[in-house]
Amino acid sequence: MTVQTNDPWAAARDAEPRQPIYWGNMVVDAYFVVLEKGIGRLPFDSQIHPPGRRCTAVDLSLLCITEQNIQSAIERQVIAESGEWTKFIQPSILELGLEPQELHEKFVKVEMVNTGRKYPAKDVSGNPTGEMREASTFKFLKVFADENECIADYLSGDSEEPEPAEQAQPAPAAQPQADNGGGNGEKETALLFLKVLVDNAIDGQTDLKVVQKTLAGSLETTPLVAKYFTVDSPETMELIMQGMGKDA
């Protein structure tokens, strides 16, 4: 039981930061992937990957109501077999009497809670700052019947709004990062990842169309590479031809 004090200095001495609260429309998706070292998530293909490597990816994206004045969606991309999902996200959903998939396009109230994991902070250009930050994730507090009910709950003032720093700095999903923020260095890093994606797509396959289809799926979940290359890019085709032992 929490005992409140009437002494503001005593309250200030014992004060702890409040976890940020958000209200908005939640979009969720789930699909199977494999985890590749140095790359991240790739689409699971039963024709290529052994069943034991299959993982379940869950994407969550919250678009806050207009009244909160938060422009960017708050997103988390998690693996369901991880502690972030099993210890924090899913239990809070089940406590509301819902299955995770039932959250899709529902208006919700969430709290961002620390997971205990830390990650290297980066500046706006993607360069490491040398600091470590606490990773946070969704804890679901309420599900509303519609947007109006969600807005009414926000306007009731039961929970304070998050500080601006918390709004602007949600913990990013793990993605491969370039050595610098842009330009040739990033493209060179993307090319290194592209070679890995092409090798995985070929993996003994002799049908060019099958290879390109597999590679296209991999590019969809590897934005760093897709930023610079497509399945038809000259660099991509050269790597495919080399990997398949054909003349470019």
Q: What is the DSSP string of 95-152?
A: HTT--GGGGTTEEEEEEEEEEEEEEEEE-TTS-EEEEEEEEEEEEEEEEESSHHHHHH
Point out which residues pair with 68 in neighbouring strands.
Answer: none
pTM: 0.59
Region for 138 from its dihedrals, namely left if φ exceeds 0, alpha if ψ lies in -120 to 50, beta otherwise: beta
Strands 74-79, 40-43: pairing is: unpaired
Tens digits of residue pLDDT in 37-57 = 878 888 999 888 899 999 999
**In the 8-state DSSP scheme, what is residue 18?**
P
Exposure string for 52-65, b = 16+ CB within 10 A, e = fewer = eeeeebbebebbbb
pLDDT at 6 over 90: no
In the chain, where are the structural domains located? 18-168, 183-243
CB 140 within 8 A of CB 96: yes
**Given this model, what pLDDT does residue 177 score?**
37
Q: Is the dihedral of CA 47, 48, 51, 54 positive or negative?
A: negative
**Given this model, what pLDDT does residue 5 score?**
65
- How far is CA 19 from each of CA 83, 104, 120, 138, rounded to the nearest angstrom? 20, 24, 21, 11
CB 23 within 8 A of CB 156: no
Tens digits of residue pLDDT in 87-145 = 999 999 999 999 999 999 999 999 999 998 888 888 777 788 888 888 899 999 999 99
